[in-house]
Amino acid sequence: MFSIKKNWRNWGETASREQASFYTPQSIEDVQNIVIRAKNQNKTIRTVGTGHSFSPVALPDCYAMELSHMTGLIHVDETLQQATFWAGTRLYDVGPLLAASQLALENMGDIDVQTIAGAISTGTHGTGIQLGSISNQIVRWGVVDGNGTYRQITREDAYSESMHISLGLMGVITDVTIQAVPLYGLAYDCSKVTTNTLLSTFQKTVQTNRHAEWFYFPGQTDVQQKVMNPIDPMTVQAKPLSKMDIFLENNVLQYASSLCKVIPKATKLVSNLSAKAVPIGQREDVSYQLFATPRKVKFVECEYAIPIENFEACFEELHETLSRHPYAVHFPIEIRTQKGERGFLSPTQGEDCVFIAFHMYKGMRYEPYFRYVHYVTSKYGGRAHFGKMNHYDEGDFKRQYAKHNIFLAHIEQFDPQGLFRTAFFKRMLK
C-alpha cells in the first residue's frame, strides 16, 4: 500500500523525481484516507498512470498515488452500451473486456498501455474527423476531491466540462463509465502518396474514411497514408503483426536512430530512405487489435491541434522549411484529425482539428526543432496536447483557453487547499 520509489521517470525520460512516496490504494475508501492524510500534512499528492505523458503532468512533488490495484470491469449495461471500469485499468484490457459484451471503444490512439484515467486526463486521441478523444467517450466520472469526498459527475453536471480533461486537478478519478459502441472490425490500408497528393486530397480522404492518418518524413515528398474503415467483426480475417515484424520494425528504427544520434548529418539520408521504404499493405482485425502498435524506440514528442481549415497552409510552410533540413530530425511527423469537442481544456475548443505530432529520438537535440514547430503551429491557431511537451508555462494556457476561469474556479471548489497542484501546475496556472 505504500513504498518509497527512487528515480521515478516518465516513459520519455523528460520528467523525473529522485525520491517519492507512492501509495497504492485498493478501494475508494483507501483513496479518501490517503487524500485526507496528505491534506492534514499539507503536502501535494499526484496520481500517476503509467507515466506515458511527455510533459511533467504526472510528476509528483513528494507524494504520489498509483491505481494499479484498482483495475478491471465493474459493470456493463448492455442496453445503454455503457461499461464502468476502475480508473487504473489499462487500455489494452478495456478492448477484450468490452468485446466480451460485443462492445468496443469508439476510437483509440497509437498505443494501449496507458491507464484509462491517465488517457482521459490529458485528452488522449486517435484519428477520425467524426470522432472525439477517449475523454469524449466518458459519460460519468467517480472522483475523490481534495476534501476526501467521493463525487459522481455525469455529462449533465456543470462540472463535466472540467472533468473532460482535468490533468488530475479535480481530484483522483477512481472509476469511469464509458459510452461504448457495438463491436466492430476494421480494415486497414497503408499506401504511399506524395506531399502534393496529400494536400490535394486531404479534406476528401478525411471525410470519406472513418480513420485517416499520415506519416510525413521531414523534407521528403513520399508520405505514408493509413486509412481504416469498419467491417463486420464476425468476418474479419485477423492477421496479427508477427513478433518478427515488430522486432524488425523497431530494430531498424533503433539502429538508424543510434546512427543519427552519433552523426546528426545522417538524418537527411535516413529520413529519405525511411520515406522511400514506407511499409504498404492491408490488414484487418477487430478494432482494438488494429489501433495500437508497440513502441520500443524511445523518443520525445510535442503535438498541436490546429483548426482543420488551416491544415494545408500550415503543412506547406512546414514542408517548405523542412525541405532545407535545418534541423537534424529523422522521426516522421504524424498527422491525425479529431472532431471538435466540449471540455474547457480540449485543445480542439469545439472546432474540428488536425493534430500534428513532432518527434525526436531520445538523446538528440530537440529544443530548436520544437521551438520552431511551436512558432509555426501557433501562427495557424495551434494548441498543444497537454500530455506532450509544451510551452503552457509561458502564459499560453490562459490566452488559448477561453473558459480557463471557470476551470480554475472548479478546481478551487474541488481542491481548495491545492492538494493536487504540484510545483509544475503552480507555474502553469499562474
Ligand X SMILES: Cc1cc2nc3c(=O)[nH]c(=O)nc-3n(C[C@H](O)[C@H](O)[C@H](O)COP(=O)(O)OP(=O)(O)OC[C@H]3O[C@@H](n4cnc5c(N)ncnc54)[C@H](O)[C@@H]3O)c2cc1C
| Candidate list 25, 95, 118, 332; residue touching ligand X; CB under 6 A | 118
Q: In sequence order, what E strands does 10-92 have?
A: 16-23, 45-48, 63-66, 73-77, 82-86
Q: What are residue 284's DSSP bridge partners?
A: 187
CB of residue 167 vs ligand X: minimum separation in angstroms? Answer: 5
Indicate whether 411 belongs to the interface with ligand X (CB under 6 A). Answer: no
Q: Which of residues 4-23 bind ligand X (CB under 6 A)?
A: 11-12
From the number of C-beta atoms within 10 Å of its C-beta (0-12, 13-18, 19+), residue 367 rates as exposed
Q: Which is nearer to ligand X, 51 or 185 (CB)?
A: 51
Task: Count CB neighbours of 110 within 10 A.
Answer: 16
Residue 66 Cβ vs ligand X, minimum distance, rounded to whole Å? 8
Query: Footprint of ligand X on residues 40-99 (CB under 6 A)?
Result: 46-53, 57-58, 67, 87
Choose between 115 and 136: whose C-beta lies nearer to ligand X.
Answer: 115
Q: Which of 212, 427, 204, 167 is nearest to 337 (CA)?
A: 212
> Interface with ligand X by CB under 6 A: which range of 114-122, 202-210, 225-233, 311-319?
114-122
**Pick from 45, 139, 167, 384: which binds ligand X (CB under 6 A)?**
167
CB-based contact 209:84 (threshold 8 Å) = no
Residues 211 and 406: their CA atoms lie apart, in Å, by: 33
Q: Specify the residue, 11 or 331, whose C-beta has the smaller distance to ligand X.
A: 11
Least distance from ligand X to the Cβ atom of residue 255, Å: 19
- Which residue's CB is nearer to ligand X, number 53 or number 271? 53
Least Å distance, CB 353 to ligand X, is: 12
Between the alpha carbon of residue 361 and those of residues 55, 198, 257, 275, the distances in Å are 16, 25, 7, 17
- Residue 42: count other Cβ atoms within 10 Å of its Cβ: 9
Residues in the chain, total: 430
Contacts 24+ apart (CB under 8 A), 72-79: 72/97, 73/97, 74/175, 76/101, 76/103, 78/103
Closest CB to ligand X among residues 122, 219: 122
**Sign, Cα dihedral of 21, 27, 30, 35:** positive
Binding mask 365-394 for ligand X (x = CB under 6 A): --------------------x-x-------
Which one among 34, 35, 163, 172 touches ligand X, defined by CB under 6 A?
Answer: 172
Q: What is the DSSP letter of 332?
A: P
Cell 480508473 sits at which residue?
A: 87
Figure out which of the listed residues 76, 94, 111, 335 binds ligand X, where binding follows CB under 6 A: 111
Which range of residues in 166-174, 237-245, 255-263, 394-402 is near ligand X by CB under 6 A?
Answer: 166-174
Q: Does 25 bind ligand X (CB under 6 A)?
A: no
- The answer to whether residues 164 and 342 touch, using CB atoms and an 8 Å cutoff, is yes
**Nearer to ligand X by C-beta: 51 or 219?**
51
Q: Pick from 89, 107, 122, 162 the residue near ligand X by CB under 6 A.
A: 122
Kindly state whether residue 117 participates in binding ligand X, applying the rule CB under 6 A.
yes
Interface residues toward ligand X, by CB under 6 A:
11-12, 46-53, 57-58, 67, 87, 109-111, 114-115, 117-119, 121-122, 124-125, 167-168, 172-173, 295, 385, 387
